[in-house]
Amino acid sequence: MRNVQIFSKLVVATPLTTICLLMRNFIVNFVRILGICKDFAGNRVNELGNIPRCGVVPKFSDLEVIALGITAEAFGFDSENFLFYRLHNECKDELPNLISRRQFNVRRKLTAR
């Protein structure tokens, strides 16, 4: 019976470590994909990473919206609700200007062209 208890503790501890590493890897890959997007966009975006248009300049750039969408797809996040819950709760320091899920969907549609 003692072996079963030890085994169950090991099984519970492993997923928690994996979850923490997943979000660290998410941020690292987000930064890498953002760099690739900046190289690919070239002169189509301004120095802040936004597509030139009238209005208020957003703090979370258009390229960051694109990179966040690509990274979420690469990591297999099917639920945007779950993704933004995790980002707002676990990655506030790494992404201080993170937008809401609604704003993300609107801006993603604008940048699709």
Query: pLDDT tens digits for 66-106?
Result: 999 999 999 998 889 999 999 998 888 888 899 999 999 99
Q: Residue 60: pLDDT band by 50, 70, 90 thresholds?
A: very high
Q: How far apart are the C-alpha atoms of 68 and 65, rounded to whole Å? A: 5
Q: Which residues contact 45 (CB under 8 A, 6 or more apart)?
A: 38, 51, 52, 61, 62, 63
User: Per-domain residue ranges for the chain?
Assistant: 2-111
CB 111 within 8 A of CB 51: yes
Going along 15-105, which residue ranges are E strands?
none
